[in-house]
Amino acid sequence: MKNKELYTKYDLLLPSKFDGGYLIIALYEKIKNREIEEYFTQNEINEILVDIKVEFNLDSIRPWTNIKDNLFHYFLRSHPDEPWKYYLTDYAKNVVDLMVSKLENPYKNHPLKKSVQASFTILHGEINTIEELERKFGRIFIQGSKKIITDHLEALEDELREAYQKLNDILRKEDQQSATILVREFTVIFRKFGERAEDITEAIISKDKFLDDLLNVVDEFYRRMEDDGKFDINNLQKSKNDWVKAQEIYMDIRDFFNSVDQKVHIIRRQINHASEKLTELQEQFSARAFFRLQIKKLHRIVLESSQYTSEGVKFSNNFPLKQLVHEPVRMLYPRYYESEPPKPNIIVNVEVDETYERSEKQKIAKEINRQQIINQWVDKAKDILENNGQLSIAELMNSIVDEEKDLSIAYQVASLMTAYTSESNEVFIDVEQKIISLSQQNLSLWKTKIMK
């Protein structure tokens, strides 16, 4: 509770319904319907309070003199030239508009796919500079599009929640209505779930295509940075900054769509659960139909096995004949028992194999020494790169092989330096398609340079 003012002024920001809340809504509706003027009088306020009292069957309602002080903080103002008249503040109108938009969300009847495509689409050749990318999909410029998708998902959740309540109401009326009526009502409601599931699937496809197109744009900025590193060093820093900005835009939009995927996953679970409800209803109808068939069979057997006499209805063939299904209980028991006490566990001391121990220790020491040599060469290679500004992989491997007489060490050092270029933004690798063979080694590689 860091914002103490929010807690102390809560009743002023959102008054309770009979302490001014319903009055503000009624004033807003009457002004909108042109039943009263925008600047209204106290008599009109008192009439609305009487209407609220009658509408909700209240014995009494707080008078205007008791609630006006709270409303004058944020909801009402006096007319500057005519102090006996009042008007609604913009805050009051915004609060009521928020309530109306929540109950009558315009996105309920608008497909989610169209919203995604309208806000998140990249045409071929549309974006060529970082300024165009920021202007179309930057964090600030994309806030409106994000809000559209968020409001759309919220409307979809509300719509499915209402449909879910209707499904539960239909299931509660199962004993009162016929199966045909229940299936018809259930199908009408469930069709909405099917349409929304199809819409969500198409929206996800559109979203995935957009992210792929945006990633291609980011990759294009990276390729420009690579080209500038080879042919235009003066423009390299700008290209690198453009690529970093493009990557930040992509990460921001990807994180947003990850949150969208989580909300869509919850909505899909609701749709799947509604499908399970339909399956349960079908199973109940099947069980009820099977029971009715069995009753009809029993009725036919009774008619075939009975006859009417002067003494009344008599059954032939000893009908009804009852017999209980019986099966003797089988007791399974072992024929022999283990009467001896359990044998104690014996700990066997294994003798130390000194030869094997010495051999493994030598292997460990050799591997540790090998890793130390690799780390030393990696540090030496980084020093060469720092001092000279570039490093030839072929020359580095030849030096290691000549000194260490071990090709695997040279290969490990070259791999670590290549990985170092991927981790650091300050260096990059240049690979030329020219085969170079290492001296006295059966190994060939591309001509590779690491530059800073």
DSSP β-bridge partners for residue 446: 435
Quote the pLDDT of residue 173.
65
Q: Are 395 and 385 in contact (CB under 8 A)?
A: no
Q: Round to whole Å and give the CA distance between 98 and 123.
A: 35
Q: Are 436 and 394 in contact (CB under 8 A)?
A: yes
Quote the pLDDT of residue 103.
73
Quote the pLDDT of residue 273.
74
- Alpha carbon dihedral 236, 240, 243, 248, in 10-degree steps, equals -160
Contacts of 7 (CB under 8 A, 6+ apart): 1
What is the residue-level pLDDT of the chain in tens, covering all 452 positions? 567 777 888 888 888 888 888 899 999 899 988 888 889 888 898 898 888 888 888 888 888 888 888 888 888 988 888 878 888 999 888 888 888 877 766 666 667 777 777 777 887 778 888 888 888 888 777 787 777 777 777 777 777 777 777 777 776 765 555 656 666 666 666 666 666 667 777 777 888 888 888 888 888 888 888 887 777 778 888 888 888 888 898 898 888 888 888 877 877 777 777 677 667 766 776 777 778 788 888 788 777 777 777 777 777 766 655 666 667 777 776 666 666 777 778 887 878 888 888 888 888 888 888 888 888 888 888 888 788 888 887 777 888 777 877 778 888 888 888 887 777 777 777 777 666 666 666 666 667 777 77
Q: Are 270 and 164 in contact (CB under 8 A)?
A: yes
Model confidence, pTM: 0.45
